[in-house]
Amino acid sequence: MCLADVVHRYHDLLTRESLAADSQQWLDRWTQQRGLYFGDRPVCTVLRPRFLTPAQYRLIAQRTALLLPAFTKVLRRALGDPVFRRQFRLLDWEEELLTLPPLFDDPSPTARFDSFFVSDSQLHFTEFNAETPAGTAYHDILSDLFLVLPVMREFRRNYEVRPLPARPGVWHALMGSYRQWRGASAPPPHIAILDWREVPTFSEFRLYEDYFRSLGLPCRIIDPRDVEYSGGRLRQGDFEIDLIYKRVLISELYDRGGLTHPVFQALRDRAVCMVNDPRCKILYKKASFAVLSDEANDSLFESAELQAIRDHIPWTRRVEERRTEFEGQTVDLIPFIVAHREQFVLKPNDDYGGKGIVLGWTVSEREWSTAVERALIEPSIVQKRIDLPREPFPSYVNGQLHVIERMLDTNPFVMFSSAIQGILTRISTEALLNVTAGGGSTVPTFLVEPQ
């Protein structure tokens, strides 16, 4: 099956009289009813989902599984070896948080890779969100919505379309971690979805609040400013919290409340279970890709792990004065990346939403040199540029159908550092594919094959 033919068939259906207009009307109505907004922007603005063949999905799952043991290996080494851990450039307060007692085995029961599926043999992982992976609820609700679009109902006459739900994986990760902390026979937890009330993803929290309540679990969306810790319990008013589904970034929680914030006090006393816990900061650092990619750490990995790293992790280094290997030659890192800006991306070690990222091929030589100088002061990584895949996606604007080629990424959700559960796809006409940065739209991902 040729996927391009499948996409062409779907787009051809949209040229039928009223089918695009009816589908857009349906999308608009359900976007409003389900609150599918990122801030005030619709989460999805196109009329086609992302299609993958079953073979492509198996490949993504297999390659993800090849890499995960390498990430786990460097995490375990970092937790036990302070000297090795320096490569991740943790801040002093982050080091102090590592002294909190662990509540469960895996520091990142929920995580998400950001990657680019260039071809059936080329899959490049560029970031690992091991702290607060977003998008699972948006993805699942969009999947439900797209399955009943008028154009999709017509398309499914000839093709079998299967969604890839992600929320069940999050639920299992939360409950599995909670039971490790509290015991297998523990009563159902009171869940707090924890983040600031003004964040643009607040609408996704509402979707999760509804989801947890549908499973019979008491749940509230709670702002970290509204909690208190007393008598050995973390609470908001009369709501005692057993399990935190943490969507707030640990750095923001520290910036606004310090290490004496009630959440950190409760964690110190093992009085609440929080997913993901503070140890997740290690792999969340962009430097985790530099640790895997750096030839200085090759001895940590078995041959199969090294091959997976070379196949799927772009060349990445911490920005510092040093000599290193690049494609078989030894180079002075800083002069080399300054002279070859078109090949590289600069990323802050600890930020999100595309903030601070500098794409060398989009800026002038002076701007790039200034960015490199800044990266030498503020912990950062430099990563080799990769080719971005493109696909056409249709949108219906002002009564006209527009099919525009857009860049897209492939972001598998990972549960318990072992298996993927759903895939988030983001599309954009800009090279920075990040919704937080204003870079585009989210679409659901489906498996497709002829009936």
The domain segmentation of the chain, as residue ranges, is 3-284+396-450, 315-384
Mean pLDDT of all residues in 345-366:
89
**What residues contact residue 185 under an 8 Å CB cut-off, 6+ apart?**
none
Please tell me the distance from the alpha carbon of residue 224 to that of residue 140, in angstroms, as a whole number.
26
Per-residue pLDDT tens over the stretch 43-58: 999 999 999 999 999 9
Residue 17 binned pLDDT confidence (cut-offs 50, 70, 90):
confident
Query: Confidence class of residue 354 from pLDDT cuts 50, 70 and 90?
Result: low
Residues 348 and 437: beta-carbon distance below 8 Å: no
Separation CA 369–CA 374 (nearest Å): 9
Length of the chain, in residues: 451
- SS3 assignment, position 350: coil
**CA 84 – CA 346 distance, rounded (Å):** 23
For position 414, what pLDDT does the model report? 96
pLDDT surpassing 50 at residue 245: yes
Assign 313 a pLDDT band (cuts: 50, 70, 90): very high
The CATH number corresponding to 315-384 among 3.40.50, 4.10.800, 3.30.1490, 3.30.70 equals 3.30.1490
Strand-pairing partners, residue 404, are: 393
Predicted model pTM: 0.92
User: For position 235, what pLDDT does the model report?
Assistant: 98
Phi-psi region of 177 (alpha: psi -120 to 50; beta: other; left: phi over 0): alpha
Contact 382, 319 (CB under 8 A): yes
Give the position of tokens 């091959």: 307
Q: Mean pLDDT throughout 257-281? A: 97
pLDDT value, residue 439: 53
State yes or no: pLDDT of 86 exceeds 70: yes
- Residue 28: predicted pLDDT: 96
pLDDT digits (tens, 9 = 90+) for 431-442: 555 544 445 799
